[in-house]
Chain A
Amino acid sequence: MKTLNGTKVVKVGLGSCGIAAGGRRVFDALSAKLKDSEVDLQQTGCIGMCYKEPLVEVSLSEDERFIYGDVTPEMVERIVDEHVVKGQPILEWLVVAEGDSAPLQEKSPMTGQQRIVLRHCGIIDPESIDDYMAADGYQAIEKVLKTMTPDDVINEVKEAGLRGRGGAGFNTGMKWGFARAAKGSPKYIICNADEGDPGAFMDRSVLESDPHSVLEGMLIAAYAIGASEGYIYCRAEYPLAVRRLKLAISQARKRGLLGKSIMGTDFDFDLKIREGAGAFVCGEETALMMSIEGHRGMPRFRPPFPAQSGLWGKPTNINNVETFANVAWIILNGSAAYNKFGSEKSKGTKVFALAGKVARGGLVEVPMGMSIRDIVFDIGGGTSSDLAFKAVQMGGPSGGCVPAGLADTQVDYDSLQAVGAIMGSGGMLVMDESTCMVDLAKFFLNFTQDESCGKCVPCRIGTKRMLEILERITGGEGKEGDIELLENLAASIKRASLCGLGQTAPNPTLTTIKYFREEYEAHIYDKKCPAKKCRALITYEVIQDACTGCMLCEKYCPTGAISGPKKKPHTIDDAKCVRCGLCMNVCKQKAITVY
């Protein structure tokens, strides 16, 4: 992975994001082009700037890094010829340039990021255990096994202040302590890799880019609590992650890093992968365990907590991918080093999947406590449209909406909770002025309603009734009292639901009501959608002065709602119009307006 003795290295990002954008074809083109050269062509995981995939990194020396974005196979020739061979970076294609020889850039998307979890992502070859080991891999477990007691490990993690990255933010060290103290054997370690929030892909990227760091974290946790068996519960929709995990497990087994007497000690530990069928609720830990046991994935009540009675009724510790990926770093660098990052009560860094109407979407890792504004603007580059930044949805369907007015809110567990949002697993959805907040609430509720396991009444029926009210409002049938009905129902659902899914499902609705109540009122009382999204509440019209009668809109209109004589202004028959917006999109004169 490193440029050894002046070897030139070219890497292609081949996470799912890279592959989906055509990374393999770029890789093949590079492979053909570099066939007889001494250039070391490598695959790596997610480099982070998903919006520019496929990404190709060129490193001609150890301390420099040039990353090209939107690379096509056609561009390969020039990159190799000009940059790799002649050492002249192609400035107009560059996304990132790091190192002394790098030409000055404006703000790099990497600026302000602090990579702990993603320390190897986009750098090492995820399919090579040697790469991982060359990057200090499996040194933490070695340190643990040779120099630390389980209590030492738990204390170190506790001291580091690492909080569960799955969303709830419980202190990981304490959680391990409970599982360690629990009576019963065997004990289990489970890695929750059932990442289900729409728009979230942190865990997938880590698993695809650095699977060994997760295994190492699990090994350390297993040692700490006294577990000898572990499961990784990964959704089947992540085939590449599953494939690389399987590969990593078999590599680790071959090296004696999994199995009996690991590193010559009496510590035994082995792992199995369980593929989930894609039920969102299976990310809830009790449902996840039900699913591993072969039952329908339905949450059960707590207590007893998994630490006391988890998988097969045995003491079980469950952490998510990102949490485990932090562990080896903490052990190697110490809790104090970890502690340096973050805010008072939220230590370390957090990975976010930056998505939505943001200019530079992708995977970013920042120290806790950075403001939403800094993430959205400095790293994300602001909105992707020419419209103003409106809000950000934090924490997916369980999270809340933070309006632009609160953009200075620090991203840490407690500050987010104070404004009604949550850290969640790290989904960060950016919205601009074209987003209807009622529609947004409806979108998330539709998701949670579909994904409710159906067990408890408030979640199964309550969210359905809330959804119906939102549908009614966006459909122009909103009634006076609907907002209050939503609020009351939401309060009961939050209190009465059995698991986190139901308890948080009303959050997007509640926060959008809290911060954008006037938008709800406009739908209900004025029968208008201020964002001009809700079809039942908008009207398309041709601006007569602007229309040249080019007839393009007429041609595209799927219902024949637009008509008019050639070269004369056209009109839209509102009764026929289905508000698809095609006319607006195709009009070159911007002669279509919506109100």
Chain B
Amino acid sequence: MNKMAKLKIELNGRPVQAEVGSTILEAARQNGVDVPTLCHDPRLKPYAACRICLVEVEGARGPVPACANQVSEGMSISTHTDNIATLRRVCLELLASDHYGDCVAPCKLACPAGIDIQGQLALIADGQYEEALKLIKESNPLPSVCGRVCPRFCEQNCRRNLVDEPVSINALKRFVADYDMAMANGPVMPAVKPSTGHKIAVIGGGPAGLSAAYFLALKGHGVTILDSAPALGGMLRYGIPEYRLPKADLDKEIATITALCDAVHLNSALGKDYTIESLKNSGFEVIFLALGSHASQKMRVEGEDLEGVLPGIHFLRDVVEGKKVELGKRVAVIGGGNTAMDATRTAMRLGAEEVMVLYRRSRDEMPAAAEEVEEAEHEGAQFHFLTAPVRIVEENGRAAGVECIKMELGDADSSGRRRPVPVEGSEFVIRVDTVIAAIGQSLAMPQLNTGTSPSLNSRGNIEVDKETMQTSTEGVFSGGDCASGPATVVQAVGAGKRAAYSINRYLNGEPVIPPVKPFNSSKGELNEIDPTEFADKPKIPRAKMQAISVGERKHNFREVETGLSEEDVRKEAMRCLSCGCTDVFDCELRSLSTEYAVEATKFSGEKHRLPIANDHQFIQRDNNKCILCGRCARICSELMGLGAISFVHRGFKTLVQPALGIPLAETQCESCGQCVSTCPTGALTVKTPLPKPGPWKTDDIPSACPQCSINCSLDLRVKGRRVVEVTSPIANKVNDGNLCKRGAYGTLFVNGPHRLIAPLVKRDGQLEPATWEEALEAAAAGLKAAKAQYSSDKLAVLASPKLTNEENYLAQKLARMAIGTNNIGNSFGLPENDALGQCFGKNSSTCSFDDLVNSDLVFVFGSDVCTDYPIVSLKIKEAVDKGSKLIIVNSEATRLDPIAEATLKVSKRMAEELLQTMLNYVFQYDLVDREFVERRTLGLQVLEHNMKPYSLETWDEAFWVKPSKVIELLHMYLRAKNPMIVIDADSIGMPELALVCNLALVTGNVARKGSGIIALRTYGNSQGQIDMGVSAEYLPGQEQVFDATPRERLKELWGKSLPKRKGISAQEMIQKAGSGTIRGLIAIGGGNDDLDIEHIGSSRAYSVLISPVFTEGMGQADVILPGSTFAETEGTFTSAELRIQRLHQGIAPEAGKQTWQVLCELSTALGYPMQYKGVPEIFREITKAVPDYSCLKFDKIPEGGVQLSTCDENTTFISPLWLEGMAEYGAKGK
């Protein structure tokens, strides 16, 4: 069918075109209309189970699933009608009703600032403190302050309460904040957007004002803070005593915010020095009022205005300001809140001998934090509960005591606490010298005589919309205590953040509405959760906050709490239960539920509650979050042909489970992770190789897989220093989003655990850490000595085929220039099989993977592609689905056999005989494509002459294979119009490969679209190594070492003559290094198994290894230099279909240097200076050294790569792929 043919449809009333044969869903997307779906994956056949993609089609009986119906001429489709939206919402609400899980952890939900606490703890557990702080600062600019004084709503809601004690979240926050402050390179500062030119005045520099200023400044707005006090901080400075929040720490944190602001004006009071009107007149478009709550509430008892009666908040302020405060010996503090506790403990520090707290209710009703009460008690305060003042006793014109009355608790009041009722006749007097009244604060609203002053509410606070923080006055917003009444620091921070969001919208001319509330599925409140759910969690005591002793606190204001040790912090972070879903940032169910404003509890009823299955090394299954879209089961059976998971049971009880209910790991699962990649929710997740599973909001860095020569396109999902997951973009040219086990999980070795973090040098037979300088010096000295004592050719260089082109190029250049030898080869000791090169002139495939789909026959020779190259096997399956025939010759059965038209089991030993027989048959019956051979090849007669005399007759007896089967298979190949041959160039022998090439040549089955040979290779950049000249025989550009032309070209480029003598093979190098014939060795690895070769380990040569990991086999080396992995460097790979893809650096190299830098420094130390500014410069040199690459520009390589065959025609490059230009190579025959 002509996929590109178009037809006309009407989409949402708009006439548009759609490709013939596309589904409604595809047609809509072609025209920029997104039809939502949960069960559809473009890699799979339509399924139509989720009913989210339902649309209306004119004339249809009911709603139609867009994923499963094709468009037809004139079809009129409506994708977003009210009826459809209702159906989608109902379906989503039904899904939500059976979704048992927390989208977001309850700690985060409880935090007024909305800190991603679970993410923070996960980063801390991994030792990524800086990243943790960055994450905190996305929501709260005052981590150091809050880390000390936060009332910790998060910990109250922590699910760990159901196991033992809550995670010490706040102490961990304080740790990272302190850690950050102590860092030499200064505190973490988030990125600031470019200036918008808008000006905002923030009045009040307390937590609400600072928070608003911070978030507005990050948006690029110009912020000016005005404060009536001589220093910023508001209550943080004047209300919270030094021993809880040292002012030095506060100053540092405030400085991180003021650094982002335009200006700060201190001692500048609203109503006195300026008004709202005057600020507006001077260019401020928005004013944010964060005035705090600085007026003390009255006790309303006789004598409270006497000398010796101090309002609590004024008392604390006077102390901070260093004013002399005379307290006498006995002090009564009235009240039960935090201010009362602060006043109590401050009074004791000032020298009061007896401090009594008078509180009218009982201890349980105290609003102060329990720890504060305990500490006050600990420090010696006396508590008088159920005691209320009725009068201040006067003596000599000043307070001399408090007359109290006993109270008892009556019925609960509106706050839910029991109301204190006086006990008649129970009055008594406590004699004191000073009374501190700390029963509450309120806003002291300045008189604004001009302009419009924002309205106040019935409680005397500024009236605001609680979500947008807008006041009654245009352009004036307010938040913090002045709007909410006295509350906590973190609530003020949250208010400032909300206000900043609104103000930003206001300034952008957008309607001032609160942010869309994301859909949230919750397991329920703490008391709704069955604690047995956590029965398997071991009880681990909570980390104990370190504090100075009571003795040490006497008469001073030293900080009482000293924080947690790093060791405690890491352990404590591990106590987190990771309640929130790790898929929260990617969950398709959540984003749709948000879009359709789904009520999570619209329908209630039974929910699945199944244990989370941890029956697989890489995959975690949570059936409670499964929506039964079937994508996992279908991708496993439909695409991978495995069927490791499938549906069981019926009705509401239906589940997806591993086959036969056995653990997933014990099924036929191949750990390709395709199920995880397609799961739209958090039901299937990757077990991140980190202490905690996230969730991670990642940066996705495009890369390519180093594991085999297919080079699947990858996205490295990076958080801080880690690659937390490896995925593949669905729309990519190489692998359509499909990955195998090695790609999805094998690549995660980059996170450790065996990473080298520092160079190692052998001293006294022991490898010991060394500096880079020491190590490079030692390496150079050792190698130079070997070279001097023996000769250049007694040295060798081995490079991994997983290294980039640039690294390989430098490695061979180092061998040839710095050492002066052609002893350069691959670190796995793979034999160099250049049969393709000998037959076609280029040692590479002759066509693309996509040609498989264009072929009418695929001939797999000698490879189990399902196991070794799963992604190519998917393409073969696709070809078979489209009508290609498949024939397989292999020594073992393969999983493709069932869909093959014919298979032949032939042992490796017999492969050559089989091919000889086939070719002889072709000659015998004159099945040669004469026209092609004549025009495009050389040496047919030589080939014919050299054939061994195998014929079908010898077969029958000798090999137990029926000749008829061989003929049948051969004839299928001969009959095909466009046959493709797939071989594994690393496992096939050279004579066999030459015969395969010749079979294709004499039958004319190369050099056409859909016809040729695909040569797969084991490692990611095997092809690149060949092209870069990592070879004892070939120079960069696949040219012979003794060939004068390239030698000249390279000499000019490298500034020095090239060694002439051919090197020894990689296999030999490894052997001889072991036997002692090779005296010096440099081996460069890029993966976790590249250098794990015993020969290198036991080498008698002076060996210098460059490797990102340390493995046991490397123990005998003389110097080990830490290298980078593919995720830590820039560069290019060349795949088996000659696709050049760029790798982007995802994370920093563990030990600070990338492998190319190490190679340059080593070469320089060896006396051949290599200096490149970066990888692009190396690549530029490669395009000069390797003629085939001359048309490429590093920056122009698109995502998904570029194939060499697609270079433009004006370049000198001749494609080795199926373009014209073959004739000059031709078959040479062997």
Binary per-residue interface labels of chain A (445-487) against chain B in the complex, 1 for a CB within 8 Å, 0 otherwise: 0000111111111101111110010000000000000000000
A107 in contact (CB, < 8 A): no
Binary per-residue interface labels of chain A (487-524) against chain B in the complex, 1 for a CB within 8 Å, 0 otherwise: 00100100111100001000000000000000000000
B49 in contact (CB, < 8 A): yes
Judging by beta carbons under 8 Å apart, are B628 and A460 in contact? Answer: yes
Say which residue of A279, A296, A301, A468 sits within 8 Å of B606 (CB atoms): A468
Binary per-residue interface labels of chain A (354-388) against chain B in the complex, 1 for a CB within 8 Å, 0 otherwise: 00000000000000000000000000000000000
B51 in contact (CB, < 8 A): yes
Looking at the assembled complex, report how far the CB atom of B41 sits from the nearest CB atom of chain A, in whole angstroms: 16
B425 in contact (CB, < 8 A): no
Binary per-residue interface labels of chain B (68-99) against chain A in the complex, 1 for a CB within 8 Å, 0 otherwise: 11000000000000000011001100110110
**With A and B bound together, what is the CA distance between A495 and B82 in angstroms?**
14
Q: Which residues of A contact B54 (CB under 8 A)?
A: 496
Judging by beta carbons under 8 Å apart, are B603 and A465 in contact? Answer: yes
Q: Which of B16-55 contact A (CB under 8 A)?
A: 46-51, 54
A300 in contact (CB, < 8 A): yes
Judging by beta carbons under 8 Å apart, are B46 and A301 in contact? Answer: yes
Q: Which residues of A contact B68 (CB under 8 A)?
A: 301
B side interface size, CB within 8 A = 34
B401 in contact (CB, < 8 A): no
**With A and B bound together, what is the CA distance between A160 and B606 in angstroms?**
50
Q: Which of A239-295 contact B (CB under 8 A)?
A: 279, 281
Binary per-residue interface labels of chain B (581-625) against chain A in the complex, 1 for a CB within 8 Å, 0 otherwise: 000000000000000000000010110000000000000000000
Given contacts A279-B650, A296-B646, contact A465 B48 (CB under 8 A): no
Given contacts A465-B605, A492-B90, contact A457 B50 (CB under 8 A): yes
Judging by beta carbons under 8 Å apart, are B647 and A465 in contact? Answer: no
Q: Which residues of A contact B63 (CB under 8 A)?
A: 495-496
B979 in contact (CB, < 8 A): no
Given contacts A464-B605, A495-B63, contact A454 B97 (CB under 8 A): no
Chain A interface helix/strand/loop/mixed: helix
Given contacts A452-B651, A455-B630, A492-B87, contact A461 B95 (CB under 8 A): yes
A565 in contact (CB, < 8 A): no
Say which residue of B49, B69, B651 sits within 8 Å of A498 (CB atoms): B49
Judging by beta carbons under 8 Å apart, are A452 and B51 in contact? Answer: no
Judging by beta carbons under 8 Å apart, are A451 and B650 in contact? Answer: yes
Q: Which residues of B contact A458 (CB under 8 A)?
A: 51, 90-91, 94
Looking at the assembled complex, report how far the CB atom of A489 sits from the nearest CB atom of chain B, in whole angstroms: 7
Binary per-residue interface labels of chain B (635-656) against chain A in the complex, 1 for a CB within 8 Å, 0 otherwise: 0000000000011011111100
Judging by beta carbons under 8 Å apart, are A492 and B86 in contact? Answer: yes
Q: Which residues of B contact A492 (CB under 8 A)?
A: 86-87, 90-91
Judging by beta carbons under 8 Å apart, are A301 and B605 in contact? Answer: no
B393 in contact (CB, < 8 A): no
Q: Which residues of A contact B59 (CB under 8 A)?
A: none
Closest to A494 in B: B62
Given contacts A300-B48, A458-B90, A460-B628, contact A452 B98 (CB under 8 A): no
Judging by beta carbons under 8 Å apart, are B51 and A498 in contact? Answer: yes
B799 in contact (CB, < 8 A): no
Q: Which residues of B contact A450 (CB under 8 A)?
A: 650-651
Looking at the assembled complex, report how far the CB atom of B520 sits from the nearest CB atom of chain A, in whole angstroms: 19
**With A and B bound together, what is the CA distance between A451 and B652 in angstroms?**
9
Given contacts A454-B651, A495-B62, contact A465 B94 (CB under 8 A): yes
Looking at the assembled complex, report how far the CB atom of A460 sits from the nearest CB atom of chain B, in whole angstroms: 6
**With A and B bound together, what is the CA distance between A461 and B49 in angstroms?**
12
Q: Which of A151-198 contact B (CB under 8 A)?
A: none
Most chain A beta carbons < 10 A, residue from B54, B94, B605, B627: B94
**With A and B bound together, what is the CA distance between A450 and B605 in angstroms?**
16
**With A and B bound together, what is the CA distance between A489 and B90 in angstroms?**
8
Judging by beta carbons under 8 Å apart, are A301 and B62 in contact? Answer: no
**With A and B bound together, what is the CA distance between A165 and B1050 in angstroms?**
85
Judging by beta carbons under 8 Å apart, are A301 and B51 in contact? Answer: no
Q: Which residues of B contact A465 (CB under 8 A)?
A: 94, 97, 603, 605
Chain B interface helix/strand/loop/mixed: loop
**With A and B bound together, what is the CA distance between A449 and B653 in angstroms?**
9
Q: Which of B82-132 contact A (CB under 8 A)?
A: 86-87, 90-91, 94-95, 97-98
Judging by beta carbons under 8 Å apart, are B650 and A454 in contact? Answer: yes
Looking at the assembled complex, report how far the CB atom of A479 sits from the nearest CB atom of chain B, in whole angstroms: 11
B147 in contact (CB, < 8 A): no
Judging by beta carbons under 8 Å apart, are A296 and B647 in contact? Answer: yes
Judging by beta carbons under 8 Å apart, are A457 and B49 in contact? Answer: yes
Q: Which of B838-894 contact A (CB under 8 A)?
A: none
Q: Which residues of B contact A456 (CB under 8 A)?
A: 48-51
Given contacts A301-B65, A462-B94, A492-B86, contact A451 B651 (CB under 8 A): yes
Looking at the assembled complex, report how far the CB atom of B69 sits from the nearest CB atom of chain A, in whole angstroms: 7
Q: Which residues of B contact A460 (CB under 8 A)?
A: 628, 651-652, 654
Looking at the assembled complex, report how far the CB atom of B1196 sits from the nearest CB atom of chain A, in whole angstroms: 45
Q: Which residues of A contact B49 (CB under 8 A)?
A: 455-457, 498
Judging by beta carbons under 8 Å apart, are B48 and A496 in contact? Answer: no
Say which residue of B47, B51, B647 sits within 8 Å of A457 (CB atoms): B51
Closest to B48 in A: A301
Q: Which of A289-329 contact B (CB under 8 A)?
A: 296, 298, 300-301, 303
**With A and B bound together, what is the CA distance between A540 and B86 in angstroms?**
45
**With A and B bound together, what is the CA distance between A498 and B69 in angstroms?**
13
**With A and B bound together, what is the CA distance between A464 and B652 in angstroms?**
7
**With A and B bound together, what is the CA distance between A495 and B81 in angstroms?**
14
Q: Which residues of A contact B94 (CB under 8 A)?
A: 457-458, 461-462, 465
Q: Which residues of B contact A496 (CB under 8 A)?
A: 51, 54, 63, 87, 90-91
**With A and B bound together, what is the CA distance between A461 and B607 in angstroms?**
10
**With A and B bound together, what is the CA distance between A463 and B50 in angstroms?**
15
Q: Which residues of B contact A463 (CB under 8 A)?
A: 651-652
Looking at the assembled complex, report how far the CB atom of A158 sits from the nearest CB atom of chain B, in whole angstroms: 22
**With A and B bound together, what is the CA distance between A281 and B647 in angstroms?**
15
Given contacts A496-B54, A498-B48, contact A449 B652 (CB under 8 A): yes
Q: Which residues of B contact A503 (CB under 8 A)?
A: 62
Most chain B beta carbons < 10 A, residue from A301, A461, A462: A461
Judging by beta carbons under 8 Å apart, are A449 and B91 in contact? Answer: no
Judging by beta carbons under 8 Å apart, are B647 and A495 in contact? Answer: no
Q: Which residues of B contact A462 (CB under 8 A)?
A: 90, 94
**With A and B bound together, what is the CA distance between A281 and B50 in angstroms?**
18
**With A and B bound together, what is the CA distance between A298 and B630 in angstroms?**
12
**With A and B bound together, what is the CA distance between A301 and B98 in angstroms?**
24
**With A and B bound together, what is the CA distance between A495 and B84 in angstroms?**
10
Looking at the assembled complex, report how far the CB atom of A450 sits from the nearest CB atom of chain B, in whole angstroms: 5
Closest to A280 in B: B650
**With A and B bound together, what is the CA distance between A452 and B49 in angstroms?**
13
Judging by beta carbons under 8 Å apart, are B98 and A461 in contact? Answer: yes
Q: Which residues of B contact A300 (CB under 8 A)?
A: 47-48
Closest to A449 in B: B651
Say which residue of B46, B50, B86, B649 sits within 8 Å of A454 (CB atoms): B649
Q: Which residues of A contact B46 (CB under 8 A)?
A: 301
Closest to B656 in A: A454
Q: Which residues of A contact B654 (CB under 8 A)?
A: 452-455, 460
Given contacts A296-B647, A461-B98, A464-B606, contact A452 B652 (CB under 8 A): yes
Given contacts A301-B68, A454-B650, A457-B628, 9 further A-B contacts (CB under 8 A): A452-B651, A452-B654, A457-B91, A457-B95, A461-B95, A461-B603, A492-B90, A497-B51, A498-B51
Closest 8 A/B residue pairs (Cβ): A454-B654, A301-B48, A461-B94, A464-B652, A492-B90, A468-B605, A301-B68, A452-B651
Where the two chains meet, the residues of B that have a C-beta atom closer than 8 Å to any C-beta of A are: 46-51, 54, 62-63, 65, 68-69, 86-87, 90-91, 94-95, 97-98, 603, 605-606, 627-628, 630, 646-647, 649-654
Where the two chains meet, the residues of A that have a C-beta atom closer than 8 Å to any C-beta of B are: 279, 281, 296, 298, 300-301, 303, 449-458, 460-465, 468, 489, 492, 495-498, 503
Q: List 20 interface pairs A-B (beta carbons < 8 Å), by A numbering.
A: A451-B650, A452-B652, A453-B650, A453-B654, A454-B651, A457-B95, A457-B628, A460-B628, A461-B94, A461-B95, A462-B94, A463-B652, A465-B94, A465-B97, A468-B605, A492-B86, A496-B54, A496-B87, A498-B65, A503-B62
